[in-house]
């Protein structure tokens, strides 16, 4: 199995997990669980491409993922405060956002790893933020 095949499986598995977590009807409970899923995905992608993640890169990934997850999840979580239909709409928006964001982050990392260059610790934050801005 090629690194890109492994990456595809890693990204889709993480996206499915992120979507499942975001379906929670309780406002803002998903953010604390999305960050470890997405950081775990990034770490697994590095392993698939035989690259090591340094401590600084992990910190950069955590900050970038936390910032983007919180910012993108505010709208869906706000809906969850409205009982009934608002809860369903909020969960749907949050899940869709979590899946899309996880896919974007994963493929942005893969595109960088595919170049064959070593990804430096400070690069992760920029890679994630640039990918999110483009979407």
Residue with more model confidence, 23 or 121: 23
| Domain locations along the chain | 3-134
Q: Is the pLDDT of residue 96 over 80?
A: yes
DSSP string, 71-116: HHHHHHHHHTTSTTHHHHHHHHHHHHHHHHHHHHHHHHHHHHHHT-
The C-alpha R_g of the chain, in whole angstroms, comes to 15
Confidence check: pLDDT of 55 > 70: no
Q: What is the pLDDT of residues 12-52, one digit of tens each?
A: 999 999 999 988 877 667 777 888 898 899 999 999 999 88
Residue 116 sits at the vertex; the CA angle it makes with 112 and 119, to the nearest 5 degrees, is 50
Q: What is the model's pLDDT at position 44?
A: 95
Helix (H) or strand (E) holding 66: helix 55-79
Q: Roughly how many angstroms between the first and final C-alpha of the chain, as a whole number?
A: 29
Whole-number Å distance between alpha carbons of 53 and 100: 24
């Amino acid at each position: 199995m090629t690194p890109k095949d492994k990456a595809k499986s890693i990204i889709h598995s993480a996206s499915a997990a992120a979507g499942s977590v975001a379906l929670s009807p309780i406002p803002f409970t998903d953010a604390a669980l999305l960050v470890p899923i997405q950081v775990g995905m990034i770490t697994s992608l590095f392993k698939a491409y035989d690259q090591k993640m340094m401590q600084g890169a992990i910190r950069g990934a955590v900050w970038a993922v936390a910032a983007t997850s919180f910012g993108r999840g505010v709208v869906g979580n706000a809906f969850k405060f409205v009982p009934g239909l608002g809860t369903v709409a909020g969960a749907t928006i949050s899940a869709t956002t979590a899946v899309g964001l996880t896919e974007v982050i994963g493929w942005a990392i893969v595109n960088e790893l595919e170049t064959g260059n070593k990804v430096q610790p400070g690069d992760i934050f920029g890679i994630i933020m640039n990918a999110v801005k483009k979407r």
